[in-house]
Amino acid sequence: MKVRTLLFLLLPLFVHPQSSVKGKIVDKDQQPIAYVNIGIVNGEKGTVTDENGFFELTLSPEELKNPNNILKISCIGFISKTYSLVDKELYKGEIRVELEQHITVLDQVTVSSNAINEYTIGHDKVNSAKQVNFSIHRKRNENLGAEIGRRFHLKKGKNTLKSLRFFISENQFDRIKLRINIYGIEDNMPKKRLNPENYILDIQNFKSGWIIYDFPKGKPWLTENNIIISLEWVDFTKEDTEKNARLAIPITVPKFFNTHYYRYGSQSQWKRFDNMSTALILDYLHHN
Amino acid sequence: MLGIGFHFGFAQSTELNDVQKRELDSVITDCVKKIELDNSIETATASTQLLERLVRKYDDWSSHYYLLYFKILVIRNAKASEVAQNAYNSFMVSFDKVLKQSVTDRQKSEIYTLKGFVYLTALSSDPIKHGRELAPKVTELFDKATALYPENPRPIYLNALFQQGMSKFFNKNYNVCSDLLLANKYFAMQANLRTDYLYPAWGAEHTANEIFDNCNCQVKESSTTKN
């Protein structure tokens, strides 16, 4: 009887030896890769590697059981990898995943004598009573990689991004890191990420107000004129881990001709919200 | 002869007595105030369901009108495209019936405004996909609504936001303030005259917010040329 009881208690351990996937992502030289997106494709959970390439993704028993769940590991500049969540290799302690660099030849911006027009587009209203919450800080292992974005329509032709401004209405973290992502659009949803590299913002001891990010100069032309720019939550620190913390951005509803996008974590499904917008402003240069 | 009589009777819509009017006013007021407090899909859906019961009870223009209006809010707030599409189809099915029920130019103006509002909502969610087809329809419907009742503030302010949105989309400048201020003036006039919620009143707060956003020298959309 005692043996049967013991077996019964141990059974779940044999079925699901681990409720999370953890490990380290490295390049071919075994150097850690920071800010890699790891998550269930179109699922509800995701995370991001830290500066040393480490990650841990918490999974529910339901997610572990579903043979259709695909774990995707992707990073700007590297070829993505996918795994079935039922792959036992994922649960053998800390896994080590090597990503192969993705080499692309990009059309670099060259200075020409033609006229350059500077445009400012976006939404600058911050007096809205409504806010969107970016993060759930106690769920680092399932909510990192959350993104808030907005659609921008640029002039047709060759453009370069100059700067992005956005407003934080409330930030209770000591330090946050955000990545700025640029996406092409297909069927009014974000598709291919167009960043040539990581655009990371390191924000420390900042409670509320406008943040400005200047895009690096000399980057490739942006030839797509209908894009989505998002802010992605990739890292944070908070000394007082007991209290729940908020990171919020104001949103205006309704706002015709504006489209707001959100996703909960890395690789999770995008949600689109028509006729609303967060406070995001883009300055860009149009090269005639 | 029978056909003419039926059509005439239908077009006149049901005359309500004072008790019925008070009940209808109370329900509509309640729905409108809930929406103002919580403009969500849940509130819009609940209001739509309530009005669906009400139109079966009273075949009255106001209840039909507000049912159409709440369907627009469902379209606008829907998180799933199927929900929005169903509400859109339902709106289009009901529209012709309510238009026939509209007797006065003012009522017709309000109904055409709602149809323009539906097209505007669809267009502004994806201007690249819907712009070419829907932009002329939106303009036509708001123009028709304003021609029928020039002091209707809703087609004026919605058309102003539509023109502003299209201009921004094509990187052009458009001064939205004069039309917003005109709409605001009509909203104020009508607010002073209103005694119940049986006539449309929505849009005043949205207009005021847009005036605050656009007409206080904080307009950021601009362009400069560097040679």
Residues in chain B: 227
Q: Do B171 and A121 touch (CB under 8 A)?
A: yes
Please check whether residue A43 is in contact with residue A49, taking contact to mean a CB–CB distance below 8 angstroms. Answer: no
User: What is the Cα–Cα distance from A25 to A35, expressed in whole angstroms?
Assistant: 10
How confident is the model over A140-181, as pLDDT tens digits?
778 899 999 999 999 988 899 999 999 999 999 999 999 999
Judgement on whether residues A67 and A131 belong to the same structural domain of the protein: no
Q: Is residue A170 part of a domain?
A: yes
How confident is the model over B168-197, as pLDDT tens digits?
888 788 889 999 999 999 999 988 887 777
Judgement on whether residues A278 and A160 belong to the same structural domain of the protein: yes
Please check whether residue A164 is in contact with residue A213, taking contact to mean a CB–CB distance below 8 angstroms. Answer: yes
Of the candidates A276, A228, A278, the one whose C-alpha atom is nearest the C-alpha of residue B121 is: A276
- CATH number, domain of A80, equals 2.60.40.1120
Q: Report angle CA B209, B88, B94 to the nearest 5 degrees.
A: 105
Mean pLDDT of the A77-103 span: 90
Give the domain extent around A49.
Answer: 17-98
Judgement on whether residues A224 and A82 belong to the same structural domain of the protein: no
Q: Do A256 and B165 touch (CB under 8 A)?
A: yes
Residues in chain A: 288
Which residue from A119, A125, A258 is facing B171, i.e. has the nearest CB? A119
How confident is the model over B29-57, as pLDDT tens digits?
899 888 888 888 999 999 999 999 989 98
Judgement on whether residues A174 and A64 belong to the same structural domain of the protein: no
Q: Do A274 and B221 touch (CB under 8 A)?
A: no
Which residues from B are below 8 Å from A when comparing CB atoms? 39, 76, 79, 120-121, 124-129, 161-162, 165-166, 168-169, 171, 206, 212-213, 218, 220-227
Q: Do B124 and A257 touch (CB under 8 A)?
A: yes
Query: How many CB pairs lie under 8 A apart between chains A and B?
Result: 66
A266, two tokens: 């890395």
DSSP A219: P
Q: Is the pLDDT of residue A71 over 70?
A: yes
Which residue from B120, B212, B220 is facing A256, i.e. has the nearest CB? B120
How confident is the model over A186-242, as pLDDT tens digits?
989 999 999 989 999 999 999 999 999 999 988 778 889 999 999 999 999 887 766
**Cβ-Cβ contacts under 8 Å, B223 against chain A:** 117-120
Judgement on whether residues A275 and A133 belong to the same structural domain of the protein: yes
Which residue from A118, A124, A153 is facing B220, i.e. has the nearest CB? A124
Terminal-residue alpha carbon distance, chain A: 83
Judgement on whether residues A179 and A89 belong to the same structural domain of the protein: no
Which residue from A119, A127, A188 is facing B223, i.e. has the nearest CB? A119
A76, two tokens: 């700007």
Judgement on whether residues A163 and A32 belong to the same structural domain of the protein: no
Q: Is the pLDDT of residue B7 over 90?
A: no
- CATH number, domain of A261, equals 2.60.120
Residue A86: how many other CB atoms lie within 10 Å:
13
Q: Do A115 and B222 touch (CB under 8 A)?
A: no
**Cβ-Cβ contacts under 8 Å, A273 against chain B:** 79
Query: Which of B79, B173, B176, B209 would best serve as a mutation to test chain A binding (most A beta carbons within 10 A)?
Result: B209
Judgement on whether residues A270 and A151 belong to the same structural domain of the protein: yes
Q: Is residue A266 part of a domain?
A: yes
Judgement on whether residues A151 and A247 belong to the same structural domain of the protein: yes
Banded model confidence at residue A109, pLDDT cuts 50, 70, 90: low
Taking CA atoms, what residue in B is nearest to A152? B169
Q: Is the pLDDT of residue A280 over 90?
A: yes
Return the percentage of chain A with pLDDT > 90, whole number.
Answer: 60
Which stretches within A112-262 are classed as H helix? 140-143
Of A39, A71, A98, the one marking the end of a domain is A98
Q: Do B127 and A259 touch (CB under 8 A)?
A: no
Of the candidates A164, A160, A161, A159, the one whose C-alpha atom is nearest the C-alpha of residue A179 is: A164
Q: Is residue A260 part of a domain?
A: yes
Give B110-172 as a DSSP string.
Answer: HHHHHHHHHHHHHHHH-HHHHHHHHHHHHHHHHHHHHHH-TT-HHHHHHHHHHHHHHHHHTT-
Q: Is the pLDDT of residue A21 over 50?
A: yes
Q: Do A124 and B79 touch (CB under 8 A)?
A: no
Number of domains in chain A: 2
* Mean pLDDT for chain B overall: 85
Which residues from A are below 8 Å from B when comparing CB atoms? 115-122, 124-125, 127, 153, 155, 188, 226, 253-254, 256-259, 271, 273-275, 281
Is the ipTM higher than 0.85? The answer is: no
Judgement on whether residues A249 and A143 belong to the same structural domain of the protein: yes
Judgement on whether residues A72 and A129 belong to the same structural domain of the protein: no
How confident is the model over B144-165, as pLDDT tens digits?
999 999 999 999 999 999 999 9
Domain positions in chain B are 16-101, 104-219
Of A68, A98, A128, the one marking the end of a domain is A98
Judgement on whether residues A151 and A279 belong to the same structural domain of the protein: yes
Which residue from A121, A275, A281 is facing B125, i.e. has the nearest CB? A275
